Chain A
């Protein structure tokens, strides 16, 4: 059965085999994508035509590698910018929310808490379309009342940021709240007794204590924003983020440049995820 109990050889073997198969299942698509990024072929498929870096560095005219592919590069930059703003915004508001829910008592707290959790059960597509509708309604309203047309309310960069922010903040709140719950209020009282101001206490004591959770939540927010597809799909304007841009390319037929982009993405996110693991490890 378990570690401490006697087990038959067959049981052990079949279990190990199952686990190995599971991990093959988990990693096969990623490994294949990475390997085929180096295949010297015009299509992302076998047979192996030899090792080549063309899909990264080729400068046309037959092959355009990732580093010369303006469209893909621009979408990577857009994704970075989006993720940057989303993580800053959601960390600030999420931290405020966890202070609010963990430390304050007020009427309608339960109701507000349920609302805060709502994005967990709203499918991303729905979040996207309702955000689109609301922005459109607001845009029409402003246009009819004041006669000004504000491009912000049409699918645009900032609308994507807001759309992603609306649900990522919930995750940040949950992560920071979990850490805040472990905080000993006696530390704050001590600081206050020693003459610190309220905001001094929050800055030097509470936020210091929360820092690992805030950094971790920020990293998670960044990754969630970077890879978001469902919500972004409806809000994206003329500047597609990387997942949207890749989707359009995959749908219309793929070239190994997509593999090259994917490889960079896999390496990049793995590094960020590992840093995040390291930080959360230190928290516990």
Chain B
């Protein structure tokens, strides 16, 4: 149908304002800030020192690598846990139960991440609920501090991003025709063969989109590593926060921020390329 130019501009103007003012310009600013710094006289000059600092200070790049590796581990664990859950919901549960289970899966994630992490803290800390019961039951002699270590932190990260793996997996599994599995079974295929040749290949798009979202959310998470990880479990977003808020070194912080942005974009891009998908498809 023919459209007026006016309508086009009415749609375009707010969208363009949003994208230019709040997405493009701020990130260009981030990039320029990261190349600025003070020289010995306190004047602002162009410099690559912020990036140089990153590579020469082991604590910075080690944290960076650590964050990336832990994000990969978290994504893998989330996938392993989510796969059977998704399979159960779409292929095993009684039809009437399916809807209820989906609602139950979604509900906790609408509650603020902070509240969920706080819940884990009450459960796991030395004076926490779990310790109370373990001591009562005689499993432990005295309470053990279960918070503030890497394993707990990863569990927290898995917990906070679980949903973003389960939902795409359920939706791809729903679209898998049961009769394919039945046929394979009738022809004598074992469980392993069915998973390897039918279920997993069919679920690939869901796996990729889930993995990308979980990876990105974990990489950029601040709250969970900060509250559940100990003093030693440094997370790269904490470094960024420290540069910005504690040291007030915005130029260094910008460089860190830009590096994190590059890393997350690169890995997402690689994930999309490897699985032959487009961002738009993954998103919707």
Q: Do A229 and B84 touch (CB < 8 A)?
A: no
B60 within 8 A of A: no
1/0 per residue B179-205: CB within 8 Å of A?
001100100000100100000000000
Decide if B115 touches A166 in the complex (CB within 8 Å): no
Give the shortest distance, in Å, between A283 (CB) and chain B (any CB): 15
Judge whether A45 and B103 touch: CB under 8 Å.
no
Interface string of B23-39 (1 = CB under 8 A from A): 11111011001000000
Interface membership of A93, Cβ < 8 A: yes
Please pick, from B88, B116, B129, B237, the residue contacting A15 in the complex, using a CB distance under 8 A. B88
B110/A126 in contact, CB under 8 A: no
- Asked if B159 is at the interface of the complex by the 8 Å CB criterion, the answer is yes
- Per-residue contact bits, chain A 257-275, to B (CB 8 Å; 1 contact, 0 not): 0110010011001101110
B53 adjacent to chain A (CB < 8 Å): no
Task: Assess the B33–A133 pair: CB atoms within 8 A.
Answer: yes
Tell me, in angstroms, the Cα distance from A2 to B185 when the chains sit together.
10
CB distance from A166 to the nearest CB of B (A): 4
A residues bordering B, Cβ < 8 Å?
1-5, 15, 18-19, 22-23, 25-30, 32-33, 36, 43-47, 92-93, 96-97, 99-100, 103-104, 106, 112-127, 129-134, 136-137, 162-163, 165-166, 169, 174, 177-178, 185, 188-189, 192, 198-199, 202, 223, 226-227, 229-230, 233-234, 242-243, 246-247, 250-251, 254, 258-259, 262, 265-266, 269-270, 272-274, 277
A194 to B116, CA, bound (A): 55
Q: What's the Cα separation between A142 and B1 when bound, in Å?
A: 45
Q: Which chain A residues border B133 with CB–CB below 8 Å?
A: 46
Q: B71 CB to closest chain A CB, in angstroms?
A: 11
- Chain B residues whose C-beta falls within 8 Å of the C-beta of A115 in the assembled complex: 19, 23-24
Q: A29-B123, A223-B110, A251-B227 are in contact. Are A1 and B185 (CB under 8 A)?
A: yes
Q: Give the complex CA separation of A216 and B25 in angstroms.
A: 30
**Given A29-B120, A112-B16, 10 more pairs with CB closer than 8 A:** A27-B104, A32-B129, A117-B283, A123-B217, A133-B254, A185-B1, A246-B112, A262-B118, A273-B107, A277-B103
Residue from A192, A247, A259 whose CB has the most chain B CB atoms within 10 Å: A247
Please judge, given known A-B contacts A15-B88, A117-B280, A123-B261, whether A33 and B19 are in contact too, CB under 8 Å: no
Among B119, B227, B240, B241, residue most surrounded by chain A Cβ atoms (within 10 Å): B119
A189-B1 in contact (CB<8A): yes
Chain B residue nearest to A199 (CB atoms) is: B7
Interface of B is mostly: helix
Query: B115, A266: Cβ atoms under 8 Å?
Result: yes
| Distance A28 CA – B118 CA, assembled complex (angstroms) | 12
Measured between beta carbons, the chain A residues less than 8 angstroms from B260 are 123, 125-126
Known A93-B15, A254-B118: A131·B26 in contact at CB below 8 Å: yes
Q: Which of B8, B104, B119, B250 contacts A28 (CB 8 A)?
A: B119
Residues of B within 8 A of A43 (CB): 127
CA distance A97 to B11 in the complex (A): 6
Least CB separation from A119: chain B residue: B23
- Contact among A30, A127, A130, A277 for B116, CB-based, below 8 A: A30
Q: Does B70 contact A (CB under 8 A)?
A: no
- At the interface, yes or no: B246 with Cβ under 8 Å from chain A? no
Q: List 16 A-B contacts (CB under 8 A).
A: A26-B162, A30-B119, A32-B119, A45-B122, A112-B19, A125-B222, A126-B220, A133-B33, A133-B250, A137-B29, A165-B18, A198-B4, A229-B114, A233-B241, A243-B112, A254-B122
